[in-house]
Amino acid sequence: MTTFQAPKGTYDLIPPDSAKYLAVREAIAAPLRNSGYGYIETPGFENVELFARGVGESTDIVTKEMYAFETKGGDRLALRPEGTASVLRAALEANLHKSGNLPVKLWYSGSYYRYERPQKGRYRHFSQVGAEAIGAEDPALDAELIILADQAYRSLGLSDFRILLNSLGDKECRPVYRDALQGFLRGLDLDEDTRRRVDINPLRVLDDKRDSVQKQLVGAPLLRDYLCDGCKAYHEEVRELLTAAGVVFEDDEKLVRGLDYYTRTTFEFVHDGLGSQSAVGGGGRYDGLSEMIGGPALPSVGWALGVDRTVLALEAEGIELELPASTSVFAVPLGEEARRVLFGVVTRLRKAGVAADFSYGGKGLKGAMKSANRSGARYTVVAGERDLADGVVQLKDMESGEQAPVALDAVVEEIRAKLG
């Protein structure tokens, strides 16, 4: 008999670890919900062209990492390798930008797919929480998003992360820089693939992680020397707003990020406890993306933070999240009548907002108390025929071991009071 396993490079999230992932998602989402961002959900797959145009035909994501396929109806689709293009497509399709209330602020959470060489912190299926502010060009918006991500990480107790910041210029000044960079790169000893990249998107060569390439990049022209006055002023305001908010960042002139759609502000969150896969999230401004995918001009900015990477960062810093107990009360019935009565007690507890579970499968007292222990419940409610005849149940404190009878009709209130 074949036993199936999760596909290579993927993972299953199972209790108790899954509770940590849920807590991380919640911590990242909380400041967004508090700042006017509404929740959006998009399909797990889209038209291939959306990513080819939006993310960029020369990017590794599109050329090497995308899961693309043809449907029975002949449609060319791809599993989503990132979130921004999908969210912008959905916002345009729903005409959210025409509501008159710009920017349209959205947040999302989901799984993304890239065919990569699996290693710790880099999977073929991974989870992200992202945020996009669509339709406004304002340094305060760029700063807001960076501040909210910083706030989310700090709320989790993380402190060993760094924020890298750069400006990629705009359609006025970047072409001038691009020409200068291409001239420099064409004089280097590069392989065929990298030479092709020099022609299509030379900035991506700066992002090449290989030592053989990085050594040759010493002395390459820097984008900051080519920024126009508008981009310089814009970037300076982002920096000032971050500093005023007490957010520490580092200027990184080589930071370009792996997607073609970025303009002006670009940033990355890195954690030095994660080894080579140090980026935990990042983003930037993408003022031309809407037009690339057939929409009107809608300057926008956003980020995505990796849930998997954030969990690894917590582990690297030795941070244990305080997670609520999945079960507060466990009911142990002894006999058929007790089964019926205690099942009713459990239902009432749950309706009263108390996390309660039940000894299923007709276990004896010893087996049921083992289950109660494993559940992590603070209290156990035990009842047999004699207890019910007296109109009571036994309430056991699993921490102190103390046990006392409580009137059956008062047990829900008693437990709620004890749990505070």
Quote the CA–CA distance of 314 and 156 in Å, as a whole number.
8
Quote the CA–CA distance of 132 and 300 in Å, as a whole number.
7
Determine whether the annotation assigns residue 128 to a binding site.
yes
Do residues 278 and 272 touch, judged by C-beta distance below 8 A? yes
Rounded to a whole number of angstroms, the CA Rg of the chain reads: 27
- 164 φ, ψ (degrees, to nearest 5): -100, 140
Determine whether the annotation assigns residue 226 to a binding site.
no
Quote the CA–CA distance of 219 and 217 in Å, as a whole number.
6
Q: Which single residue is written with the structure tokens 């992360």? A: 161
Determine whether the annotation assigns residue 83 to a binding site.
yes
Determine whether the annotation assigns residue 283 to a binding site.
no
Helix 411-419 to helix 336-351 angle (10° resolution) is: 50
Determine whether the annotation assigns residue 262 to a binding site.
yes
Determine whether the annotation assigns residue 322 to a binding site.
no
Quote the CA–CA distance of 77 and 51 in Å, as a whole number.
10
Determine whether the annotation assigns residue 257 to a binding site.
yes
CB count in 10 Å sphere of residue 305 = 23
Q: 98-121: buried (b, 16+ CB within 10 Å) or exposed (e) per residue?
A: eeeebbbbbbbbbebbbebeeeeb
Determine whether the annotation assigns residue 84 to a binding site.
yes
Determine whether the annotation assigns residue 250 to a binding site.
no
What residue numbers does the annotated binding site cover?
Answer: 82-84, 114, 128, 132, 257, 261-262
What residue numbers does the annotated binding site for L-histidine cover?
Answer: 82-84, 114, 128, 132, 257, 261-262
